Chains A and B, each alone.
Chain A
Amino acid sequence: TQLLEQSPQFLSIQEGENLTVYCNSSSVFSSLQWYRQEPGEGPVLLVTVVTGGEVKKLKRLTFQFGDARKDSSLHITAAQPGDTGLYLCAGDAKYGGATNKLIFGTGTLLAVQP
C-alpha cells in the first residue's frame, strides 16, 4: 500500500510567520497535488507538480517536488489568517494508467492567529 505522510500534523502560528509543510513517501509518483480544505467544504486544488525538482509558486505559497518524485514541500511566506485550513498532499497512484487514482496524505491543519 502506498502511503503519504505529512508533517507536522498541526501547526499554530502568528500572522506574518513563515512555515513549511512536508509530504513524504517511499513510493514514486507520476505527479503530486496539493489541496486546501476549509471547514465544511471539500478540498480545493492548489497546484500540481509533475517533474522531479520542479518548483511552483502561487503568490506566497511555494511548492517543490523532490528530485526522486517521492516527496514534496509547501512553504508559506508571511502567513495570513486566510491561509488557515487543512492542507493535503495527494500522489497519483496509477502511473500512465487509464485513470487518476490519488493517494492522499494525512493532512496538516494550519491555524494562523491574527
Chain B
Amino acid sequence: DVKVTQSSRYLVKRTGEKVFLECVQDMDHENMFWYRQDPGLGLRLIYFSYDVKMKEKGDIPEGYSVSREKKERFSLILESASTNQTSMYLCASITGPGTDGYTFGSGTRLTVV
C-alpha cells in the first residue's frame, strides 16, 4: 500500500514563527497536494505539485508557500504563522490523471497561539 507520512501529528507554534510541515510518500507519485480542513468548510486546496520543482496555487494559497525538491517530499511552509492558520493540514498524493483516489496522510493538527 502507498503510504503518505506527515512528520508531525500535533504542533503548537507561536504567532509570527516560520512553520514547516513535511510530507513524504513512498510510491513514486507525481502529484502531491496540501489541504487544510476546518469544520463546516471541508477540505480546501492550498497548493499542489505535479512534478519536482513544479507547483501551482490552489484555492487558498495566501500566507503559505511550498517546496518540492525531491519527488517523494512536499513541504508546506507558513512564512509567519497567524492564529487564523490554526487548522488540520492534510497531505495527499496520486500517481496521475485517472480514477484512482488520493492517498492521504494522517494529518497535522496545527495550533498557532
Contact = CB atoms under 8 A, between A and B. Distances in A.
Q: Is the interface of A mostly helix, strand, loop or mixed?
A: loop
Contact of A88 (B43, B59, B99): B43
Contacts of A99: 30-31, 48, 50, 94, 96-97
Contacts of B45: 101-103
Contact of A106 (B31, B42, B92, B103): B42
A48 interface: yes
A97 interface: yes
Interface-centre pick from A42, A97, A104 (highest chain B CB count, 10 A): A42
B99 to A, nearest CB: 4
Interface stretch (A13-21, A33-41, A68-76, A77-85): A33-41
Contacts of A43: 43, 90, 102, 104
Interface residues of B, number: 31
Interface residues of A, number: 29
Contact of A45 (B9, B30, B59, B101): B101
A71 B91 CA distance: 26
Nearest to B95: A100
B42 A42 contact: no
A24 to B, nearest CB: 14
Contacts of A48: 99-101
Nearest to B10: A40
Contacts of A90: 43, 102
B106 A42 contact: yes
B46 to A, nearest CB: 12
A11 interface: no
Nearest to A94: B97
A96 to B, nearest CB: 8
19 contacts: A1-B59, A4-B42, A9-B40, A33-B102, A40-B9, A42-B105, A42-B107, A43-B43, A50-B99, A88-B43, A94-B97, A96-B97, A99-B31, A99-B96, A100-B31, A100-B102, A101-B48, A103-B45, A106-B40
Given A40-B9, A42-B107, A48-B99, 19 more contacts: A42-B90, A42-B104, A43-B102, A44-B104, A45-B101, A48-B100, A94-B97, A97-B97, A98-B50, A98-B97, A99-B48, A99-B97, A100-B97, A100-B98, A101-B33, A102-B45, A104-B42, A104-B43, A105-B42
